[in-house]
Chains A and B, each alone.
Chain A
């Protein structure tokens, strides 16, 4: 029988991570996959928890390399990660014009707020302003209040997943054709790629989508308050409702008087379920039932009846979640001398070593 090779998928790949906070998730993903990631701290996350999450598995260097040291590092590396606009890159000798010309077997993943070209290429930007410029901010929030941003500087995640995809496509070219290249990634464009169907709604139906609160305005679907927080229920999204009689029975069995109201024919019609009257009626019935029950209880008993229900989990809930605990999801690793608990990698490889790692310490 042949031996199974359990090495990490990116074993032997060397990455120079010279990103700001905007670009540091890409190097983290590459480190989990087994690349040697050397992180030069340009202007990374200030928040210590964010810093630990983003830099796990990287070999951290405080000072910026320059001159011959930089040239040597670039000559050895397969991938260079940066995340600033063209003028800032030029000032540090990291613009593709400077780097790629000298190192033609380097993949330079140039993440930048607006891309390396165009009238806004050197505009100052932040997570909030890029969410605005890419169109996702306009979709978040209550209609009668200001738009609200997603928690956790999602532009870093959005940039990171696209950048890593692009890096691995270019690595494929590098390893099959011995040719490096520059990847010009605009975070504004990456955000604009995350709008669900908003661009197509305008193009095809002439409708400009706007923020609409926590979900569709349809009875049976959305957020409902319970004893220890919130649950998310999907009881219908247009067309026929989902598991409707199961929901009605669940409430009736739970002692909600009038739950049998939900058996009336009109609840089968999405036109009715979308009225304010129907939404309010359903909410009153459901929240009367849920007020004395916990997220975990509602999730377990609803799922048992075939109802699509999920807890609105807090980070603390997740750390104790039976599914995640049973699957040994959370990992403790050493990041910059601190023991930290991290979520597991986004994927599990059956025969490769993929996981959050402890970064190699300085030699």
Chain B
């Protein structure tokens, strides 16, 4: 019997939807918190209708994009505009430690579920909002999506080839990394302060402000008068440093050479002549283009994974550029670590979820259950947690307040 999960006993009233919010509450849920997702049947979470779908068939309970972000959670459906629905939401807040939402500024206040209303029923509540640009300020009401936050936050403009327009990461990066996880950190830090002082907290995570930290060093440089721009795969220190073509359709190997010994080793593996101008890091950095050409010529005959094996065995950082297919089916390290998790979902069947990228030695988290069906837990949460008598529950359903 393993130790109790770390966040056991913590409850989260999770009003968040789409991308960033659900990835914030997921680590809490996977480590034992009771995360109750408050959803709506009339305004269904848009991510439930985002691809991919099991067998390509659309449906609110078939999206892998949704499922992957919502393991270990419960789902209830409330109509927050119905007075009885709102009342139940407030009762949920009353029995929760944490409230999270990522609606546009003022939405929760208009619903009567803002911080002040929440604090009135739960004085030590930890309440986190994640507006795009802030709950205050001249741009507070501007519209945006994950993609526009990467643009407005500076990462898109800095990411790409030197000689071409910006290209970005190919994902809505702010929704997957900085914003949800900075949010989780804030909630956990506030819980720690509550343990020490008994005091709750109001936290505002403006997605723009969180995302700018992903390019923090560029801000420091710009403020010091230094221009920062796109550099492709070049590095300030390492040379050669790049992504080189290998045998096969669209196969590549990433190679990073930081020191002279590494260069000597890489050169031998690749069969590149020992040219004196490349003996020093300065020499290699000043002829990057020529070096890249020589290496690309040499790598074309190599299998990417085999080349990475040879280079890393000699102390040179290298990796094949792995696709999802490689990650799921052939990477020996992820397989040995048991990274991917298959969960049996009632509609989607056995489906693959991202594993937790870290393990606690004493009480590790795990994906406790697949993503909930839309409203799967409404009855149970209302009757067992929120104290609604069974008879009244059915009346609430027919009124449209729940279900």
- Alpha-carbon distance A171/B6, docked complex (angstroms): 9
Residue of B nearest to A211 (CB): B170
Q: Mark B139-152, 1 if CB is under 8 A from A, else 0.
A: 11011110111011
Q: Is the CB of A316 within 8 A of B222?
A: yes
Chain A residues near B54: list those with CB within 8 A. 204
Residue of A nearest to B127 (CB): A350
Chain B residues near A310: list those with CB within 8 A. 144, 148-149, 151-152
Given A120-B333, A172-B6, answer yes or no on A150-B192 (Cβ-Cβ < 8 Å): no
- Among A86-94, A181-189, A248-256, A266-274, the one that faces the other chain is A181-189
Given A347-B186, A349-B201, answer yes or no on A181-B166 (Cβ-Cβ < 8 Å): no
- Alpha-carbon distance A187/B322, docked complex (angstroms): 14
Q: Mark B320-352, 1 if CB is under 8 A from A, else 0.
A: 111111111001111011011000000010011
Chain B residues near A208: list those with CB within 8 A. 323-325
Tell yes or no: B397 within 8 A of A by CB.
Answer: no
Q: Is the CB of B181 within 8 A of A162?
A: yes
Chain B residues near A38: list those with CB within 8 A. none
Q: Is the CB of B157 within 8 A of A230?
A: yes
Q: Is the CB of A200 within 8 A of B165?
A: no
Chain A residues near B244: list those with CB within 8 A. 146
Q: Is the CB of A147 within 8 A of B243?
A: yes
Residue of B nearest to A175 (CB): B195
Which of B137-194 touch A at CB < 8 Å?
A: 137-140, 142-145, 147-149, 151-161, 164-173, 176-178, 181-186, 188-193
Q: Is the CB of A119 within 8 A of B64?
A: no
Q: Mark B18-38, 1 if CB is under 8 A from A, else 0.
A: 000000000100010000000
Enumerate 14 A-B pairs (CB-CB under 8 Å) in ascending A order. A54-B216, A124-B312, A129-B254, A148-B233, A149-B159, A165-B188, A169-B7, A229-B157, A316-B227, A318-B219, A324-B208, A326-B137, A327-B137, A346-B210
Residue of A nearest to B340 (CB): A199
Q: Is the CB of B252 within 8 A of A230?
A: no
Q: Which of B327, B336, B365 contacts A192 (CB 8 A)?
A: B327
- Among A4-12, A60-68, A69-77, the one that faces the other chain is A4-12
Given A311-B152, A347-B210, A350-B202, answer yes or no on A140-B362 (Cβ-Cβ < 8 Å): no
Q: Is the CB of B154 within 8 A of A313?
A: yes
- Among B70-78, B79-87, B234-242, the one that faces the other chain is B234-242
Q: Which of A33, A137, A313 contacts B243 (CB 8 A)?
A: A137
Tell yes or no: A315 within 8 A of B by CB.
Answer: yes
Residue of A nearest to B211 (CB): A346
Given A126-B238, A312-B166, A351-B199, answer yes or no on A119-B336 (Cβ-Cβ < 8 Å): yes
Residue of B nearest to A318 (CB): B154
- Alpha-carbon distance A54/B215, docked complex (angstroms): 11
Q: How far is the CB of B189 from chain A (nearest CB, A)?
A: 4
Q: Which of B155, B193, B205, B322 contacts A134 (CB 8 A)?
A: B322
Q: Is the CB of B321 within 8 A of A4?
A: no
Residue of B nearest to A198 (CB): B324
Q: Is the CB of B212 within 8 A of A343?
A: yes
Q: Is the CB of A352 within 8 A of B31?
A: no
Interface residue total, chain A, C-beta cutoff 8 A:
152
Q: How far is the CB of A123 from chain B (nearest CB, A)?
A: 4
Tell yes or no: B67 within 8 A of A by CB.
Answer: yes
Q: Is the CB of A340 within 8 A of B220?
A: yes
- Alpha-carbon distance A141/B160, docked complex (angstroms): 7
- Alpha-carbon distance A182/B359, docked complex (angstroms): 8
Q: Is the CB of B361 within 8 A of A181?
A: yes
Q: Mark A48-64, 1 if CB is under 8 A from B, else 0.
A: 01101110000000000
Tell yes or no: A291 within 8 A of B by CB.
Answer: no
Chain A residues near B171: list those with CB within 8 A. 136, 139, 194-196
Residue of B nearest to A145 (CB): B161
- Alpha-carbon distance A311/B166, docked complex (angstroms): 12
Q: How far is the CB of B209 from chain A (nearest CB, A)?
A: 6
Tell yes or no: B214 within 8 A of A by CB.
Answer: yes
Q: Is the CB of B258 within 8 A of A313?
A: no
Q: Which of B7, B51, B56, B328 contacts A172 (CB 8 A)?
A: B7
Tell yes or no: A47 within 8 A of B by CB.
Answer: yes
Tell yes or no: B391 within 8 A of A by CB.
Answer: no
Interface residue total, chain B, C-beta cutoff 8 A:
153
- Alpha-carbon distance A183/B348, docked complex (angstroms): 32
Which of A136, A172, A232, A340 has the most chain B CB within a 10 Å cutoff? A232
- Alpha-carbon distance A151/B271, docked complex (angstroms): 31
Tell yes or no: B197 within 8 A of A by CB.
Answer: yes
Tell yes or no: A142 within 8 A of B by CB.
Answer: yes
Tell yes or no: B224 within 8 A of A by CB.
Answer: yes
- Alpha-carbon distance A46/B217, docked complex (angstroms): 12
Q: Which of A184, A188, A315 contacts B154 (CB 8 A)?
A: A315
Tell yes or no: B245 within 8 A of A by CB.
Answer: yes
Q: Mark A281-306, 1 if CB is under 8 A from B, else 0.
A: 00000000000000000010001001
Q: Which of A166, A197, A303 contacts B360 (CB 8 A)?
A: A166
Chain A residues near B51: list those with CB within 8 A. 197, 201, 205
Chain A residues near B55: list those with CB within 8 A. 204-205
Given A149-B233, A158-B177, A199-B324, answer yes or no on A188-B334 (Cβ-Cβ < 8 Å): yes
Chain B residues near A124: list those with CB within 8 A. 312, 315-318
Given A181-B362, A316-B222, answer yes or no on A170-B6 (Cβ-Cβ < 8 Å): yes
Given A9-B193, A186-B358, A351-B202, answer yes or no on A132-B223 (Cβ-Cβ < 8 Å): no
Residue of A nearest to B150 (CB): A232
Q: Is the CB of A344 within 8 A of B192?
A: no
Q: Is the CB of A352 within 8 A of B190?
A: yes
Q: Is the CB of A128 within 8 A of B254?
A: yes
Q: Which of A118, A130, A223, A346 contacts B165 (CB 8 A)?
A: A223
Which of A8, A176, A347 has the most chain B CB within a 10 Å cutoff? A347
Q: How far is the CB of B232 from chain A (nearest CB, A)?
A: 6
Residue of B nearest to A122 (CB): B312
Q: Is the CB of B226 within 8 A of A49?
A: yes
Q: Is the CB of B6 within 8 A of A169?
A: yes
- Alpha-carbon distance A232/B224, docked complex (angstroms): 27
Q: Which of A123, A192, A342 contacts B312 (CB 8 A)?
A: A123
Which of A7-32 touch B at CB < 8 Å?
A: 7-13, 29
Which of A8, A50, A311, A346 has the most chain B CB within a 10 Å cutoff? A346
Q: Is the CB of A53 within 8 A of B190?
A: no
Q: Which of A29, A152, A186, A347 contacts B214 (CB 8 A)?
A: A152
Q: How far is the CB of A34 from chain B (nearest CB, A)?
A: 8
Q: Is the CB of A53 within 8 A of B220?
A: yes
Beyond A148-B160, A215-B147, A341-B220, 6 extra complex contacts between A and B, CB < 8 Å: A151-B215, A152-B217, A163-B358, A189-B339, A210-B250, A341-B223
